[in-house]
Amino acid sequence: MTTTQARAGTLNVGMIGYGFMGAAHSHAWRNAHRFFDLPLTPQLRTLAGRTESAVAEAAERFGFASHTTRWQDVVEDPEIDIIDICTPGDTHYEIAMAALAAGKHVLCEKPLANSVEQSEEMTAAAQRARAQGVRSLCGFSYRRTPALAYARQLISEGAVGEIRQIRAQYLQDWLSDADAPMTWRLDKDLAGSGALGDIGAHIIDLTQWLTGQRIAEVSGTLQTVIPTRPSAGTAQGLGGRGDTSGERHNVTVDDLALFTARFETGILGSFEATRMAQGRKNAMRVEINGSAGSVAFDFERMNELEVYDATAAGGRQGFTRVLTTEPEHPYAANWWPTGHGLGYEHTFTHQIADLVTAIGEGTDPSPSFEEALQVQRVLTAIEASSEHGSSWQSTDPQSPTSQESTR
Ligand code: SOE
């Protein structure tokens, strides 16, 4: 904790970017200290964005005290304690490196960056800054879904026994319409990859976190189903219909990713990340099968965890639907009475609560940049595999089978 924070009991927030993630993070910064006992009270100080009129409107709407069109202003402001990076992946490296060098804590949206090389440099910079009490976190917020945090607790307590198999899907359909407009998420120079890095990164992080095991090698195939998209026109947000009267733009990322992963103990996992799953809106699903049972989760039913106990008396076996709104469930006691569910935005509020607690207590929050770097290594290995006949690729940079992705 710096002297500024200690003196004032506040944490002054500078945010870069004001799209979907800026809105979700701002909601969390505004509410975390009202529902969790935090050592510091976040203050929404400055919002940075490229377009003056738009960032001014967003700063007003989100509750920031001021705004600027230069992110460097926020990083250089001595009154700012933490930089929250809510921009596309092509800017994470430059902003995070400057923020860490300026001694600012950093919250960086996922994926950490658009390449392993950038992620490695960011991780090294975070390690150097850590020695000065600077904390950094990468925004894999789904870990802070009560049902998933509870699943991890059950697995660690041996509820499923020895893990035998892992299966994870992240199914969305907002790009199923061929005339859904071009967006930064479809441009490799900005997003780094498509469904793979945007939503596949979440299930890679989650399965490693839930099991405590790293993915050691992968075999994958990426596919761009719809090669061109119209301009945005009046379309807003995710999906919608673009302006089909004009030119179409080339899509340079995947619409879907299918891959098999071998975890470090040899366990196999099957993975699917797609934006083509008509009817599936945000169906992030994970199932862990073990010798003594299973846990299964679907984000579209985010307040529920399916638990199967294979040791239950014969005739009484079956998946139990656990409503994870009891005080025993992670984070749930801070909200509503049992049965009154939580939403997507609560995962971000939990993330901010844990981050501010770590900063105040002088501990390192998770997922660290090191953990996010591991996800980046898996993403890159999948891209390399898809470019080399879906051959098995190691995620270990020292391994002879790890090949550079040329995508
Ligand atoms: C779009 O796929 C998106 O907004 C992702 O970028 C987020 O990480 C995910 O939480 C919801 O879907």
pLDDT, one tens digit per residue, over 294-321 is 999 999 999 999 999 999 998 999 999 9
Q: How far apart are CA 151 and CA 159, in angstroms?
A: 9
Convert the pLDDT of each residue in 184-226 to its tens digit.
999 999 999 999 999 999 999 999 999 999 999 999 999 999 9
According to the model, what pLDDT value does residue 397 have?
83
According to the model, what pLDDT value does residue 3 have?
55
Distances (CA, A) of 255 to 90, 100, 197, 300: 19, 34, 11, 21
**Whose CA is closest to atom 10 on ligand 1?**
199
Residue 24 in contact with residue 34, Cβ under 8 Å? no
pLDDT band at 6 (very low <50, low <70, confident <90, very high): low
Atom of ligand 1 nearest to the CA of 198: 6
Residue 216 in contact with residue 263, Cβ under 8 Å? yes
Q: Confirm or reject: Cβ of 184 under 6 Å from ligand 1.
A: no
Domain range 3-142, its CATH number among 3.40.50.2300, 2.60.410.10, 3.40.190.10, 3.40.50.720: 3.40.50.720
Instruction: Output the average pLDDT for the chain.
Output: 95
The region that residue 205 occupies, defined by phi over 0 for left and psi between -120 and 50 for alpha, beta otherwise, is alpha
pLDDT band at 246 (very low <50, low <70, confident <90, very high): confident
According to the model, what pLDDT value does residue 405 have?
62
Q: How far apart are CA 399 and CA 202, in angstroms?
A: 24
Q: Are strands 82-85 and 105-108 parallel, antiparallel or unpaired?
A: parallel
Atom of ligand 1 nearest to the CA of 142: 10
Provide Rg for the chain, Cα atoms.
Answer: 21
Domain range 146-301+303-342, its CATH number among 3.30.360.10, 1.10.3720.10, 3.40.50.150, 3.30.1180.20: 3.30.360.10
Q: How far apart are CA 141 and CA 309, in angstroms?
A: 28
According to the model, what pLDDT value does residue 398 have?
83
Please tell me the distance between residue 136's alpha carbon and the centre of ligand 1 in angstroms: 21
90 token code pair: 């092509």
More confident residue, 138 or 7: 138
According to the model, what pLDDT value does residue 238 have?
85
Please tell me the distance between residue 198's alpha carbon and the centre of ligand 1 in angstroms: 6
User: Edge-to-edge strands of the sheet including 268-274?
Assistant: 319-323, 304-309, 293-298, 283-290, 163-171, 268-274, 256-263, 215-223, 393-394
Q: Confirm or reject: Cβ of 198 under 6 Å from ligand 1.
A: yes
Please check the confidence at residue 278 and state whether its pLDDT lies above 90: yes
Outline where 136-244 has alpha helix (H): 146-156, 188-191, 195, 201-211
Please tell me the distance between residue 21's alpha carbon and the centre of ligand 1 in angstroms: 9
Please check the confidence at residue 76 and state whether its pLDDT lies above 50: yes
**Whose CA is closest to atom 6 on ligand 1?**
198
Q: Confirm or reject: Cβ of 193 under 6 Å from ligand 1.
A: no
Q: Which residues of 73-89 are buried (b: 16+ CB within 10 A; e: fewer)?
A: ebbebeebbbbbbbbbb
Q: How far apart are CA 197 and CA 304, in angstroms?
A: 26
Please tell me the distance between residue 155's alpha carbon and the centre of ligand 1 in angstroms: 26
Beta strands in 251-317 (DSSP E): 256-263, 268-274, 283-290, 293-298, 304-309
Helix-strand-coil split of the chain, %, nearest 5: 35, 25, 40
Convert the pLDDT of each residue in 89-146 to its tens digit.
999 999 999 999 999 999 999 999 999 999 999 999 999 999 999 999 999 999 999 9
Q: How far apart are CA 398 and CA 261, in angstroms?
A: 18
The domain ranges of the chain are 3-142, 146-301+303-342
Please check the confidence at residue 368 and state whether its pLDDT lies above 90: yes
DSSP single-letter state for residue 186: G
Atom of ligand 1 nearest to the CA of 195: 2
Please tell me the distance between residue 129's alpha carbon and the centre of ligand 1 in angstroms: 29
